[in-house]
Amino acid sequence: MAKGKKDRPGFTALQKQLNSELKEEKFRKVYLLCGDQDYLRSQNRDRLKKALLGDGDKMNLCVFSGADTDISAVIEQAETLPFLADRMVIVLDGTGILSGSAKGGDSRGDQLAAYLDRAPETTHFVINEGQVDKRKKLYKAIEKAGFILPCGDLDDETIRRWAFSLFQKEKLNIRPETLADFLELTGSDMFNIQMEASKLCAYCYGRGEVTQRDIRAICSVHLQDRIFEMIDAIVAKRPERALEIYMELLERQTAPQPILALMQRQFNTLLQVRELMDKRMGDAEIASKTGMSPYFIRKRYMPTASRYGRQVLTAALEDCIQADQDYKSGLVTDRIAVEMVIVRQSRRKS
């Protein structure tokens, strides 16, 4: 469901605050990285590990991932004192502990929330989750004892400046109008932008400038458009068409991870739109609630959401979340994770 925005600092301000605290070695007991931008969450997870471990080795780092993470084992590890170092670092990566989507998500989260106050001062937690429920006891406990960095969608100007920097690092110039065309093709997912920019930089190496012709020659079609077309085929029970689009994306060297992330985001948006439509809201009001363009709400999301019930969209969203957790826990490859969602949801009875 779409969530209202509160008067709180945005990502950029919070990122600066986090960077400042890490530089000054003002460490919190627990850090939560959440939101749709996997790229930002991954970057900050690695930055936190490096800062917290300091000169210590990985002997004082313990990583738990996947929906089957046992919180009792986490707590047992957290009780361990660091070896020849100042801190023990516990990373929880994609466990579903804050979404409640994974089995036992609520009870596991409550168990960890109750433990935070009595955890040793030398133990620090880094929790990396895409979807979080702010009503959970654990979320409220993290607000009290730690630092929350929501890595959601950035504003267009921030994305533009970041994308421009990717070309600058490779000593390539790209004109504003050319960069606009590039971002129109890639969409706003930072993993996808980085991947397409890397392909362009390699193609244009030594030439000094990226042109619109280069973009047309190298970059994939608008990934979000193709993902939306694939989702439409999934919910319309056309697995052959959905798999055909998926294989086409793989052939264009699009990695399965951003495909799954975008699928999850699109199903989430469709579900939000459906819920708001059920409340008799119009396109302008839905656009305001979701932070999206009224044009796309009216032309793309409302027609699709109106064709499928909340139950169908909810099941598809939960399946994406579970597939992501299965992949991160090593149960399946990222490619198989996407294929399982396509097949399961295409064959699911409405």
What is the CATH number for 270?
Answer: 1.20.272.10
The rounded percent of the chain whose pLDDT value lies above 70 is 92
Same domain for 24 and 81: yes
Q: Does the pLDDT value for residue 255 go beyond 50?
A: yes
b/e sequence 191-229, b meaning 16+ C-beta within 10 Å: bbbbbbbebbbeebeeeeebeeebbeebbbeebbebbbe
Comparing CA positions, the residue from 27, 36, 24, 10 lying closest to residue 320 is: 36
Same domain for 255 and 191: no
pLDDT in tens, 99-133: 754 444 468 899 999 999 999 999 999 999 987 88
Query: For residue 195, what are the CA distances in angstroms to 2, 227, 254?
Result: 29, 16, 8
Sign of CA dihedral 24, 29, 34, 39: positive
Asked if residue 2 belongs to a domain, the reply is: no
CA dihedral in degrees (270, 267, 257, 70; nearest 10)? 130
Contact call for residues 95 and 129 (beta carbons, < 8 A): yes
Same domain for 146 and 162: no
Domain stop point among 166, 190, 218: 218
Same domain for 297 and 279: yes
Domain stop point among 150, 165, 200: 150
pLDDT in tens, 87-103: 999 999 988 888 754 44
11: amino acid identity, one letter: F
Asked if residue 3 belongs to a domain, the reply is: no
Please give the Cα distance from 180 to 76 (Å, whole number).
51
Asked if residue 1 belongs to a domain, the reply is: no
b/e sequence 269-294, b meaning 16+ C-beta within 10 Å: bbbbbbbbbeeebebeebbebbebee
The rounded percent of the chain whose pLDDT value lies above 90 is 42
Asked if residue 231 belongs to a domain, the reply is: yes
Same domain for 330 and 268: yes
Q: Does the pLDDT value for residue 33 go beyond 90?
A: yes
pLDDT in tens, 331-345: 889 899 999 999 988
Domain stop point among 150, 166, 191: 150
Number of domains in the chain: 3
Comparing CA positions, the residue from 255, 234, 257 lying closest to residue 244 is: 234
Range of the domain at 323: 223-347
Please give the Cα distance from 122 to 289 (Å, whole number).
42
Same domain for 303 and 174: no
Same domain for 161 and 180: yes
Residue 280 phi/psi, 5-degree rounding, is 65, 30
Same domain for 166 and 139: no
Same domain for 228 and 214: no
Same domain for 68 and 162: no
